[in-house]
Chains A and B, each alone.
Chain A
Amino acid sequence: EPEVTQTPSHQVTQMGQEVILRCVPISNHLYFYWYRQILGQKVEFLVSFYNNEISEKSEIFDDQFSVERPDGSNFTLKIRSTKLEDSAMYFCASSVGSPLHFGNGTRLTVT
């Protein structure tokens, strides 16, 4: 069964550094999402992307965040200047209809 793949599985970075989290959505899917889950908490929406542009974003997705689909297969989340509170699991998801299919996440640790 096709799946959403995310790399790396774990990223450790120093505060103030830039990170890029990578995702390969399921190939025939059209809608792409990033969600975040702080340890022990619920899954929170960051941004959705369709037709090569952001369709919705939450208040968490401020100017330090950006997303890109640089080619036909990858979908990336960039955090420009990481803060300690950015430490979380970041999940990519994609869909063609209603249910979202999630990757296994990237655990980001900001020190």
Chain B
Amino acid sequence: GQQLNQSPQSMFIQEGEDVSMNCTSSSIFNTWLWYKQDPGEGPVLLIALYKAGELTSNGRLTAQFGITRKDSFLNISASIPSDVGIYFCAGRKDSGNTPLVFGKGTRLSVIA
């Protein structure tokens, strides 16, 4: 099946630091999405990307849809304790409403 390789698996950072994580695939995706999951809750959409090269921000979060359409990154600037959680990339290979494929997640820990 389709695979998304997400890295790093986990990160420990100091409050105030910037964070970067990325997702790559061997095949082309038409949509990239980034979700955050807090313990005991469902994934919450952070940013959706629909076009190669697209750079989109949501507050301190910025995500880009790679030019090759095979990768995406998510940056978090000036991290705060509530940024703690698991961040998942998700992609859709086809247009429409075909199922999302998820990466394995990046577990972020922020040390105050």
Contacts and interface: CB of A to CB of B under 8 A. Distances in A.
Interface of B is mostly: loop
B104 interface: yes
Contact of A33 (B45, B50, B99, B104): B99
B61 interface: no
Q: How large is the interface on A (under 10, 10 to 19, 20 to 34, 35 or more residues)?
A: 20 to 34
Contact of A43 (B88, B92, B98): B88
Contacts of B88: 42-43
B43 interface: yes
A65 interface: no
Interface in A55-109: 55-56, 58, 91, 93, 95, 97-105
A43 B101 CA distance: 8
Contacts of B44: 102
A59 B31 CA distance: 23
Contact of B48 (A33, A91, A98): A98
A31 B100 CA distance: 12
A105 B41 contact: yes
Interface of A: 4, 31, 33, 41-45, 48, 50, 55-56, 58, 91, 93, 95, 97-105
23 contacts: A4-B42, A33-B99, A42-B105, A43-B43, A43-B88, A45-B99, A45-B100, A45-B101, A45-B102, A50-B97, A58-B1, A93-B42, A98-B31, A98-B33, A98-B50, A99-B45, A100-B45, A102-B42, A102-B44, A103-B42, A104-B42, A105-B40, A105-B41
